[in-house]
Amino acid sequence: MTYTIRGTEVFADVVEDENGTVVQVSFALNAPTPAHVEVAALAKNLMVARQETQDGVLREWVEEVPHANFFPVAVELVPAERDANGEMITEPVMDTSYSVNVTIVGDLVRKVDENGRFLWEILLLEWMGSGAETTVNDKVPGLAMSGVSLIDMSKVQTPQGAVALT
């Protein structure tokens, strides 16, 4: 899952319509916790902080901006062992960090800065240019900024209908 923006390969999957217009951008992140992803998403305007007072109690939360979709992914590091009857002998080993697939569509994928550059392109180019090289789960290359890694999904093995294997 790579795409080239102005000569720079980025870790993203981009879908274009029949006219060559980008209609969807997808990429994957990994972090120690969901809170790390929320902080990064807030900084990149993919999430917003909300608050309201109900019955004198202040309630605060973070939510996705319209057309930014975050899909948490369970990552299996070691598959379960099964006997000849299919009974599980040992449980699978799951990644305890937080992995999420992000998809940007609609108005958000068309949003530009004051120079007419797409915000999603700026986001990915910044991550590719400023991120420190890392390896997630000792297997998948990525680029980390503030504890959140943009990962190279082209290096992930994902059997159809199963959790991601890295």
pLDDT in tens, 67-115: 888 888 888 777 888 889 888 888 888 888 898 999 999 988 898 889 9
pLDDT of the residue at 29: 92
CA dist 74 and 122 (Å) reads 28
CA dist 123 and 118 (Å) reads 9
Residue among 102, 127, 107 nearest 118 (CA)? 107
User: Would you tell me how many other CB atoms lie within 10 Å of the CB of residue 25?
Assistant: 23
pLDDT in tens, 43-74: 888 877 888 888 888 877 677 787 888 888 88
Q: What is the mean pLDDT of the chain?
A: 84
pLDDT at 1 over 80: no
